[in-house]
């Protein structure tokens, strides 16, 4: 069981890798299409900006590969954003795997942008109650609530903390920086193989 962690540049790759290793999974940091295709799980981490991550994926010819994956895929933060149709960040056309658009938080007297810190996350499906916890966020852009929202949080407006379409998962928070809560979420993702068929 190998987890391919895609190297999009500028990301906190090592932290994601270590968090995965703590779940007793083998990891490989890669840009190689064959390695990505053959991994049991694929993680697209995310620090940077949507356009820089998309440019890296395009340069490495990874977009068609990612679109054709059938194993569980997890996009983290910007890695989640690029799974959507479009991001307002530098008006970036994304991969269009998950329907919807990424928007920017509007700064006002009650809303500082970026959102930075630990926010309470509630999973929509009561079966996932045990995952409800505080998770660490650092983002200026967000996904609104959609049908495929898996978990919600609130930052003066409700937004998607996690989403899922088929085998593609995304989380706006950073599981690798969310202490025990983040570890439980990664376990949930790594166990998703078994019940993916029910979606």
Footprint of other proteins (CB under 8 A): 10-15, 18-19, 22, 47-49, 52, 78, 107-108, 112-120, 134, 136-140, 154-156, 174, 176-179, 182-183
If one counts every other C-beta atom within 10 angstroms of the C-beta of residue 191, the result is 10
**DSSP state letters, 108-122:** BTTB-SSEEEEEEEE
Helices (H) and strands (E) in the chain, counts: 7, 13
DSSP β-bridge partners for residue 3: 27, 41
Query: Are 78 and 53 a contacting pair, CB within 8 Å?
Result: yes
CB of 5 to other proteins, least distance (A): 12
Nearest CB to other proteins, comparing residues 114 and 144: 114
190: left (phi > 0), else alpha (psi -120 to 50), else beta?
alpha
Catalytic residues: 77, 174, 176
CB of 90 to other proteins, least distance (A): 9
Nearest CB to other proteins, comparing residues 48 and 72: 48
CB of 152 to other proteins, least distance (A): 13
Nearest CB to other proteins, comparing residues 99 and 157: 157
Q: Among candidates 167, 163, 164, which has minimal Cα distance to 153?
A: 163
CB of 188 to other proteins, least distance (A): 16
Nearest CB to other proteins, comparing residues 7 and 167: 7
């Amino acid at each position: 069981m190998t987890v391919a962690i895609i190297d999009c540049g500028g990301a906190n790759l090592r932290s994601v890798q270590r968090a995965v290793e703590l779940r007793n999974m083998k990891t490989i940091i890669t840009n190689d299409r064959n390695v990505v295709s053959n991994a049991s799980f694929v993680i697209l981490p995310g620090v940077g900006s949507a356009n820089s991550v998309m440019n890296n994926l395009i340069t490495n010819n990874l977009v068609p590969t990612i679109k054709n994956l059938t194993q569980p895929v997890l996009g983290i933060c910007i890695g989640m954003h690029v799974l959507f149709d479009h991001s307002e960040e530098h008006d970036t056309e994304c991969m269009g795997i998950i329907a919807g658009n990424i928007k920017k938080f509007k700064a006002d007297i009650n809303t500082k942008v970026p959102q930075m810190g630990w926010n309470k996350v509630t999973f929509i499906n009561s079966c996932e109650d045990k995952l409800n916890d505080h998770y660490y966020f650092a983002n200026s852009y967000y996904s609104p609530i959609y049908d495929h929202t898996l978990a919600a949080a609130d930052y003066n407006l409700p937004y998607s903390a996690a989403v899922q379409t088929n085998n593609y998962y995304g989380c706006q928070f950073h599981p690798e920086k969310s202490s025990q809560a983040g570890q439980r979420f990664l376990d949930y993702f790594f166990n998703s193989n078994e019940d993916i068929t029910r979606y």
